């Protein structure tokens, strides 16, 4: 039992018997240093609808609020006229956090009506002595792991890309805490006071709207740099990007689910919104691409990673010459 309990803080594949393949969840860690469920584990649980009893006992509020919040956000988005829809989706990618006064300006009267943000002051998980830090890639608050004398600060989504810092909370206690880079993508970030005047998107919105949106915007920028014509969210939420280059058209839906098999389950019984629709998954899920293709290919979907789509666009451009 003690060994099992220790195992809960390590990769899941070490907990499983040797003859059970861990596949896509092999590297997942269930509990953090404080014994709390890791966010990725929670996302997986929500996507898999893990048998209720376990959640109800410990995390029912999180489960219910995440589902309700996601549904609410999509209902708000769906009610918008097509032009506003694309604008709002863009703002949800670019402005994941910020000062109230600035957010009011960029949202131009829509901020209070849409109700997407929460005050960072209410979130102790991202604070060091009353300050918080925005991820340099997605600008959402980074998580603080308070273990030992030196704390770790990392973006839940971008730690795998190297957005990891350390922070000594006791050092220079009369000034704002400073982060030391500890990962390849840890560019300098400044501490921001966690006051009620600083807001960030609710976690569910960041997780299921902003993260795929970042992937979509990255693909858009790359396609445009190749000379492609790109329309974002051309028919609201039917699909995400329409890319035209050298007489060819790519219709793309970007998905950033924690579980690729669950994404496959969700898609395998529905026809593509457009013939030949391409489902793009993040590069870090490249090992699951073939599996997903097998699950949903019969329906007419094609599955590519972000890099795979860019490679196709690049060779499409080369053929055009
Ligand atoms: Zn991030």
Q: How many Å separate Cα 316 from the centre of its chain?
A: 29
Does residue 119 sit in helix, strand or coil?
strand
Half-sphere exposure of 314 (CA within 13 A, CB side): 8
Taking each helix axis as running N to C, give the angle between helix 211-225 and helix 82-94, from 0 to 180 degrees, rounded to the nearest 10.
100
List the strands of the sheet with 241-245, edge to edge.
229-232, 241-245, 248-254, 278-281, 302-305
Strand (E) positions, the chain? 97-99, 117-119, 131-132, 143-145, 151-154, 164-167, 180-181, 192-193, 198-201, 229-232, 241-245, 248-254, 278-281, 302-305
User: How many A from CA of 143 to the centre of ligand 1?
Assistant: 10
Burial string for 73-83 (b: 16+ CB within 10 Å, else e) reads: beeebeebeee
The single-letter DSSP state of residue 172 is T
User: How many A from CA of 205 to the centre of ligand 1?
Assistant: 13
User: How many A from CA of 274 to the centre of ligand 1?
Assistant: 31
Please choose, from the candidates 140, 144, 169, the residue with its C-alpha nearest in 3D space to the C-alpha of residue 154: 144
Other C-beta atoms within 10 Å of 87: how many? 17
What confidence score (pLDDT) does residue 169 get?
86
Cα separation, 245 vs 247, whole angstroms: 6
What confidence score (pLDDT) does residue 236 get?
84
User: How many A from CA of 157 to the centre of ligand 1?
Assistant: 5
User: How many A from CA of 321 to the centre of ligand 1?
Assistant: 38
User: How many A from CA of 206 to the centre of ligand 1?
Assistant: 10
| Block mean pLDDT (10 aa), the chain, length 321 | 85 83 79 76 68 51 62 85 90 95 91 85 93 97 89 92 92 88 95 94 90 94 95 89 94 90 89 94 93 95 96 82 60
What residue spans define the domains of the chain? 23-94+202-321, 95-201
User: How many A from CA of 319 to the centre of ligand 1?
Assistant: 36
First to last CA, the chain: 64
> pTM of the entire structure?
0.80
User: How many A from CA of 19 to the centre of ligand 1?
Assistant: 35
What confidence score (pLDDT) does residue 52 get?
46
What confidence score (pLDDT) does residue 313 get?
94
User: How many A from CA of 163 to the centre of ligand 1?
Assistant: 7
List the strands of the sheet with 198-201, edge to edge.
97-99, 198-201, 117-119
User: How many A from CA of 165 to the centre of ligand 1?
Assistant: 12
Cα separation, 234 vs 238, whole angstroms: 8
Burial string for 215-244 (b: 16+ CB within 10 Å, else e) reads: bbbebbebbeebebebebbeeeeebbbbbe
């Amino acid at each position: 039992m003690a060994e099992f309990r220790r195992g809960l803080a390590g990769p899941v594949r070490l907990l499983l018997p040797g003859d059970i393949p861990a596949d896509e969840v092999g590297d997942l860690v269930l509990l953090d240093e404080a014994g709390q469920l890791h966010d990725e584990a929670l996302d997986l649980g929500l996507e898999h609808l893990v048998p209720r009893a376990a959640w109800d006992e410990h995390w029912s509020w999180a489960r219910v609020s995440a589902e309700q919040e996601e549904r609410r956000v999509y209902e708000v988005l769906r009610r918008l006229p097509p032009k506003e829809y694309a604008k709002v989706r863009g703002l949800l990618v670019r402005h994941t956090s910020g000062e109230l006064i600035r957010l009011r300006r960029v949202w131009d009267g829509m901020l209070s009506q849409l109700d997407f943000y929460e005050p960072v002051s209410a979130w102790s998980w991202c604070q060091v002595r009353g300050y918080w830090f925005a991820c340099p890639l997605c600008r959402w608050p980074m998580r603080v792991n308070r273990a030992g004398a030196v704390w770790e600060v990392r973006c839940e989504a971008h730690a795998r890309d190297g957005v990891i810092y350390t922070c000594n909370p006791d050092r220079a206690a009369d000034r704002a805490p400073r982060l030391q880079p500890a990962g390849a993508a840890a560019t300098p970030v400044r501490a921001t006071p966690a006051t009620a005047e600083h807001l960030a998107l609710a976690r569910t919105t960041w997780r299921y709207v902003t993260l795929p949106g970042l992937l979509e915007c990255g693909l858009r920028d790359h396609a445009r740099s190749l000379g492609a014509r790109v329309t974002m969210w051309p028919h609201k939420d039917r699909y995400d990007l329409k890319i035209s280059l050298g007489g060819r058209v790519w219709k793309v839906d970007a998905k950033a689910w924690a579980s690729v098999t669950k994404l496959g389950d969700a898609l395998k019984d529905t026809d593509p919104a457009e013939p030949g629709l391409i489902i793009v998954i993040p590069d870090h899920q490249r090992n699951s691409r073939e599996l997903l293709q097998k699950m949903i290919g019969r329906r007419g979907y094609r599955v590519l990673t972000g890099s795979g789509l860019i490679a196709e666009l690049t060779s499409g451009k080369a053929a055009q010459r």
